[in-house]
Amino acid sequence: MNHHGIWTGILICLFLRQPGYSQTIDIQARPVQHEPSRRIDALQYTVRLTFDLDKREFHGSNTVTMISLRDGLGSIPLNAVDLTVEKITGAGDRNLAFSYRDDTLRIVLPHPATFGDTLRMTIWYHGSYPAKGLYFDDSTSRHPRVVTTDSWPDEARCWFPCYDYPHDKAVQEMIITVPDTLKVLSNGALIGVRADGEAGTATWHYFQRHPHSTYLSMLAIGPYTVIADSLGPLPISYWVYPGDAENAKRIFKDTPNMIAFFNRIYNYPYPWDKYDQVVSPRQGGGAEATSATILGEGVIYDRRAEQDFSWERIIAHEIAHQWWGDLITLRSWEHTWMNEGFGTYSDYLYTRFARGDDEGAMDLLGKKNQYLNEAHTRYMRPIVCTRYNKPQDNFDSHTYPKAAAVLHMLRFVLGDKPFFETLSRFLHRHAFMAVDTHDFMSAVKNVTGRNLDWFFEQWIYKPGHPVLDISYAYDPGNGLIALKVRQVQDTSLGIPVYRMPVRIGVVTARGKEVHDIWLSKAEEIFTLPAADAPLLVRFDEGNYLLKEWTFRKSMQELIYQLQHDDVIGRQWAVARLGECTADRTAIKALSRAAQQDPFWAVRKQAAESLGTIASRETVSLFRRLAADPSSQVRASALTLLGATGRRDLVPFLKSRFQSDDSYRAQAAALRAIGACGGEADMPFLEQAASLASYRDIVNIAAEAAIKQISGN
């Protein structure tokens, strides 16, 4: 109901801030890229390689089976980088002519092929420690000598000649010979291991029977400890360095539950023959491959580190790729969100399932803020963006968290049952195929009967997000709220005026009512019934919309919201009250929230909002919060104490360092000592610097404190 009658101002301690954007990257300066045409459809790669880890070399062959997609096809181009091609043989072991330049291996056919002809040829080649794609790593104090791959996005060509673009999928066979003291992991089912006692080698034979894209090919070679697990008949294994098995069992124990969860919500059973997770020194986080995930060695941590550095979300994200990215795969690199947006939304879904609604809500808010930070500091672009120099350019906070937030909004628009039914049918319809955004748009229409092209146009094919200025006035005589919503985003940047449903929660002494409205104009006023004066008007009840917003509210309403709203609303109220710390009422409300709110993130933000106030009262509060059940809150409290610079706090900070079981909180205590202490505290810091901790966080903090005190 639009109404342009009543309008009055509300006394607030906030003001509307026009967003500032620092676009440091000009997307329009990048070249336009298109999905390439191809001459062949690869059906199978059979790769036979022997590895010499001492010399960092490998040699062998790749037999490629393919179908011609052209009449009169005279030559076949394959991708190959830094490989030495010895010969190429075709039918009857006949040598084929070839040329190899500019990373393209062009094979001349003895006779032109016609459309649909099946062709087979074997490329004999060798290589040595390429710069990309396949890595030989010598042993260190952290890991043994290993060989691992990272074929993403176009580096499979660095270790076997292939047609290396994601829209082509092929069956894969890996037959890998290594010293018999080592183990080998690759895609698909392990067919067998054949030992050669005389040569001291073992040949591992894997077969990936379902087609997949080349960038999903992987190898891992090393003296791994393999921990066996399962989900019913599905074999699951964890490949870790010797000595890491006990920690790995704890860290990976929920893997079967994660797979079962995705089986259920996507209503598509896990599609591969096995699932492995293998540790590599070459990964920071994780890299998916079909039937396997390559994880950075940071995934292994002791029990103490778990409260601060859990990899649960990353593990869930990579498992989700077995459906989103591996079962269905982006057709070309501008559609990266079909892999990563769905993977990121999947890890949110698992977080909410495993850790509860509040943790899930905070995870989704963190994803939204990650995108908003990129929008402010780097650029805004459409999620589907054809302007890029290399595929990696599109793997950013638009592809991952923004796309996840867009999927959450799509779920809101469609409803839970139609949304998840769409995902399931989409997977079934396009299994083992390459897809693009239009395929998914068609799935929405076919499953739900709804044409949501308008939704995809504004959220996927255009840049930006809504920036909202919201306020309201209450008319007690008519029992009406006039809610004014202005979309103030800069449309000159190509950002649209958004059309979106929004829920408005109205809380009065009689209870809560939720009203549905639709945004569609740059400025609108909606009238909502309220028999009594509202205690709280909640814009975007349920927190579905990706937005920046300012909502003018009274101090009284903000305090009520802080005490009664959901976790996202409470945190938003904390942020607004944090701008009013000259007001004793706001300070009192924030202090209460910092100590009493049931969720750690609200307590943490409330404490940090009080950090600008240097008083005996806040120092006493921060000392109490240094014993909070959450290590995140404790670390913030210790940091805030350090910011006071008070020398008399050093004994307390040392005590907290010695008694806390969180590496993060210990590190915060050490940095605080550096801010408050002096030369007499150097021996304490030097001793702390010698202690082992995950990612050396304690050592790094101690060294920083020493430098601060010494003035270096």
Ranges in the chain annotated CATH 2.60.40.1840: 1-8+465-553
Q: How far is CA 89 from CA 64, 78, 97, 98, 117, in A?
A: 11, 15, 9, 10, 17
Q: Using CB atoms within 10 A of its CB, is residue 386 exposed (0-12), middle (13-18) or buried (19+)? A: middle
- Give residue 2's pLDDT band: very low, low, confident or very high (50, 70, 90): very low
CATH match for 1-8+465-553 among 2.60.120.330, 2.60.40.1840, 3.40.190.10, 3.40.50.150 = 2.60.40.1840
Structure token pair of residue 700: 């790094």
Are the beta carbons of 326 and 310 closer than 8 angstroms? Answer: no
Q: Give pLDDT, residue 12.
A: 34
**Which amino acid makes up residue 641?**
L
Ranges in the chain annotated CATH 1.10.390.10: 224-249+262-329, 331-459
pLDDT tens for 409-439 read 999 999 999 999 999 999 999 999 999 999 9
Residue among 323, 213, 344, 341 nearest 268 (CA): 323
Residue among 566, 558, 556 nearest 597 (CA): 566
pLDDT tens for 616-670 read 889 999 999 999 999 999 999 999 999 999 999 999 999 999 999 999 999 999 9
- Over residues 171-198, the mean pLDDT reads 98
Handedness of CA 676, 678, 684, 689 (dihedral sign): positive
451 φ, ψ to 5°? -90, 105
Which superfamily is assigned to 224-249+262-329 in CATH? Neutral Protease Domain 2 (1.10.390.10)
- Over residues 115-120, the mean pLDDT reads 98
**Which amino acid makes up residue 272?**
W
331-459 is classed CATH 1.10.390.10: yes
- Give residue 135's pLDDT band: very low, low, confident or very high (50, 70, 90): very high
- Give residue 197's pLDDT band: very low, low, confident or very high (50, 70, 90): very high
Structure token pair of residue 8: 């009055």
Q: Where does 375-439 show beta strands of DSSP type E?
A: 433-435
pTM exceeding 0.85: yes
Are the beta carbons of 103 and 132 closer than 8 angstroms? Answer: no
Residues present in the chain in total: 712
- Over residues 250-263, the mean pLDDT reads 98
Q: Give pLDDT, residue 9.
A: 29
Q: Give pLDDT, residue 4.
A: 29
- Give residue 502's pLDDT band: very low, low, confident or very high (50, 70, 90): very high
Q: Where does 269-309 show beta strands of DSSP type E?
A: 275-280, 286-289, 292-296
pLDDT tens for 261-298 read 999 999 999 999 999 999 999 999 999 999 999 999 99
Q: Give pLDDT, residue 174.
A: 98
**Side-chain half-sphere of 168: how many Cα atoms within 13 Å?**
25
Q: Three-state SS string across 233-302, please?
A: CEEEEEEECCCCHHHHHHHHCCHHHHHHHHHHHHCCCCCCCCEEEEEECCCCCEEEECCEEEEEHHHCCC
Q: Answer yes or no: is pLDDT of 17 > 50.
A: no
Q: What is the CA radius of gyration of the chain?
A: 29
Q: Answer yes or no: is pLDDT of 712 > 80.
A: no
Residue 449: count of CB within 10 angstroms of its CB: 8
Q: Give pLDDT, residue 8.
A: 28
CA distance 651 to 673: 9
Q: Give pLDDT, residue 711.
A: 85
Q: Give pLDDT, residue 22.
A: 65
Are the beta carbons of 625 and 637 closer than 8 angstroms? Answer: yes
Are the beta carbons of 381 and 465 closer than 8 angstroms? Answer: no
CA distance 86 to 80: 13
Residue identified by tokens 């908003």 is: 372
Residue among 448, 650, 366, 408 nearest 540 (CA): 408
CA distance 456 to 681: 59
Helix axes 650-659, 631-644, angle to 10 degrees: 160
- Give residue 20's pLDDT band: very low, low, confident or very high (50, 70, 90): low
pLDDT tens for 352-405 read 999 999 999 999 999 999 999 999 999 999 999 999 999 999 999 999 999 999
**pLDDT > 90 fraction of the chain, expressed in percent and rounded:** 94
Are the beta carbons of 134 and 149 closer than 8 angstroms? Answer: yes
